[in-house]
Amino acid sequence: MYSYHRKSNETEWANQPAKYGTTGREKLHEFCAECHGDVVKIRTEKLHGTIPCENCHGPVLNHPEKPEKLDIDRSRELCLRCHTSLPYTTSERKRIPGIDPKTHNTGTPCVSCHNPHNPSLEGMK
Amino acid sequence: MERRDFLKQCIMVIAGASVPLSALTLVDPKKVLAANPSIQWAFLVDTTRCVGCGFCVKACKTENDIPFDANVTRTWVERYVYTKDDRRYVDSPKGALNGYTDARIDLGKGEFKEIDKDNVGKAFFVPKLCNHCASPACTQVCPVGATYKADNGVVLVDRKWCIGCGYCIMACPYAARFFHPVLKVADKCTFCFHRLSKGLDSACVNACPFGARKMGNIHDKNDPITQIIMNERVGVLKDEFGTKPQAFYIGLAQEVR
C-alpha cells in the first residue's frame, strides 16, 4: 500500500556511483590489500587495525586512475574524534586513551609524534 | 425461455464470471512475491559499542553528497549524559559530524552547559538514521507518489517527482527526513541503496571501526544479523507510533526515543 511510484527511480538510485570501497570491519582492508597487500598486513596487526583505511586516507573513488593519490587527512581533529578525553566511564569511550585537546601540545599535528599505524607509546617517533 | 430458467442462467453467469476473477488474484505471482520477497533489509545498532567518533556521519555525507556545512544529515549520533543529581542532557552538535571533542553539552545558539566531571552518572552515544519502517508514515502523506517503499524494504525518494512540499518531513516521527538545501527536494537515508545493489556495505556500516552499525536481510533466518535480532534483546524507537521500524537497537535506554 502507498507504494505507487515510478519504477525506474529504483534503477536510478541503484546506478549511483559508490565513493567508498570495502574497507570496513566486515571485510577488513580487503579492497586495499589487492594492491597494497604487504603494507596493509603490517598495519592491521596493531591497535588501529580495526579502523577502515578510508576513514583517514579518504574515499577510494576511482583510484588508482582518478585520483592517482588519495588525500590523507592528517589533522588533529580526525584523531580527536576518538582521543578526546571525556569523563564517560559507562560508555565504550572509556577504553580509548584520551587527552585534553586544549592542553596537550596545542597546534601540533598528532602525527608529528605519534605513528597512527603503530599507536602504542613505544612506537612514538 | 421460462422465468425459472432465465434466473438459473443468470446466477450461473454471475457465478462463472466471479470465480476466475478471485482465482486470478489469488495466484498472482507478483503479489505473492511482493508479500514475501527474498531480501528485506534491516539495520542493527549496537549502542553499547558506539564511542561517538562520528566517522559514520562523515562517511555518509561524503558518500551521498550532503553538504557538510548545512545542519542537515541522513544519519547522526546523539549523546546522552545523566548526572548524579538526576538531570538528563541530550545533544548532537552538527549531528556529530566531527565527533564529540568537548565534554560540555551543546545547548544550541552558541550556549554550552558545563558538567562537573564527578557529577556524570552515566553517559552513552546512540547512532540514529531512517528506520525504513514496514508501515512508513512518510510515504502515506506524499501527495505526488514521490516517496515509496521498494520491494527490498528501503524507503526512497524520487528526486524527479518530489515537489518539496515537506509533508513527509513533518510526518516522520523520527525526524529522519530533511530538505536538501541544494537539490530542493526531501532527502533521507537510502541504506546506501546504490552500494547495496553493488554488493557493498552501506557507507556508515563500512566506516564504523567498532561494529556498532550492521545491516542484514531480515527475511533470511540464517543471516547473522537476523539471528541477533531474533535471539537477543533488541528494541525499536517509538514503537507506539505503529510504524514498525526496521532499525533495531541493542542497549536502548528509556530516554532514547
Q: How many CB pairs under 8 A join A and B?
A: 142
pLDDT class for A81, splitting at 50, 70, 90? very high
B63 near A19, Cβ under 8 Å?
yes
Cβ contact A25–B209 (<8 Å): yes
Q: Tens digit of pLDDT for each residue in A31-79?
A: 888 888 777 766 666 688 888 889 999 999 988 888 899 999 999 999 9
Q: Evaluate the omega torsion of the peptide bond into residue B67 and state whether it is cis, within 30 degrees of 0.
A: no
Which amino acid is it at A62? N
Q: Which of A47-56, B87-96, B155-164 has the lowest mean pLDDT?
A: A47-56
Cβ contact A5–B205 (<8 Å): no
Q: How would you write A13-57 as a 3-class SS string?
A: HHCCCCCCCCCCCCCCCHHHHHHHHHHHHHHCCCHHHHCCHHHHH
Residue of chain A whose Cα is closest to the Cα of B195:
A18
- What is the structure's pLDDT at B22? 59
Our CA dihedral for B143, B145, B151, B157, rounded to 10 degrees, sits at -90
Is residue A29 scored above 80 in pLDDT?
no
Count CB atoms within 10 A of the CB of residue A90.
13
Q: Which residue has the cell 549520533?
A: B77
Mutating which of A1, A10, A51 best tests the B interface, going by the most B Cβ atoms within 10 A? A10
Cβ contact B145–A51 (<8 Å): no
Distance in angstroms (rounded) separating the CA atoms of residues B62 and B59: 5
Mean pLDDT score, A72-101:
93
pLDDT class for B204, splitting at 50, 70, 90? very high
Q: What ipTM does this complex have?
A: 0.92
Q: Which residue has the cell 530533511?
A: B178
What is the percent of chain A with per-residue pLDDT over 70, rounded to a whole number? 89
Cβ contact A20–B207 (<8 Å): yes
Which amino acid is it at B242? G
SS3 B191: coil
SS3 B29: helix
Q: What is the pTM of this model?
A: 0.87
DSSP state of B54: -
Which amino acid is it at B200? L
B:18-47 residues touching chain A, CB 8 A cutoff: none
Q: What is the DSSP string of B89-141?
A: EEE-GGGGTT----SSEEEETTEEE---GGGEEEEEEEEE-----SS-HHHHH
**pLDDT averaged over chain B?**
92
Is residue B90 scored above 70 in pLDDT?
yes
Cβ contact B209–A59 (<8 Å): no
Mutating which of A31, A55, A75 best tests the B interface, going by the most B Cβ atoms within 10 A? A55
Cβ contact B208–A13 (<8 Å): no
Q: What is the CATH number of domain B41-71+128-133+189-250?
A: 3.30.70.20
Q: Is A103 exposed, middle or buried, given 0-12, 13-18 or 19+ CB atoms closer than 10 A?
A: exposed
B42 near B229, Cβ under 8 Å?
yes
Higher pLDDT, residue A26 or B121: B121
Distances, alpha carbon A76 to alpha carbons A99, A118, B62, B118, in Å: 12, 17, 20, 27
pLDDT class for A2, splitting at 50, 70, 90? low
- What is the structure's pLDDT at B35? 59
Kindly provide the residue ranges of all beta strands, DSSP E only, lying in chain B, ordered along the sequence.
41-46, 76-83, 88-91, 105-108, 111-113, 120-128, 147-149, 155-157, 178-179, 186-187, 213-217, 234-235, 247-250
Q: What is the DSSP string of A51-111?
A: S-HHHHH---TBTTTBSSS------HHHHHHHHB----TTSGGGGS--B-TTTSSTTS-GG
**pLDDT averaged over chain A?**
86
Q: Tens digit of pLDDT for each residue in B18-63?
A: 776 656 565 565 565 555 678 999 999 999 999 999 999 999 999 9
Mutating which of B74, B148, B168 best tests the A interface, going by the most A Cβ atoms within 10 A? B148
Domain ranges of chain B: 41-71+128-133+189-250
Is residue B89 scored above 80 in pLDDT?
yes
Q: Which three cell numbers stand for residue A119?
A: 599507536
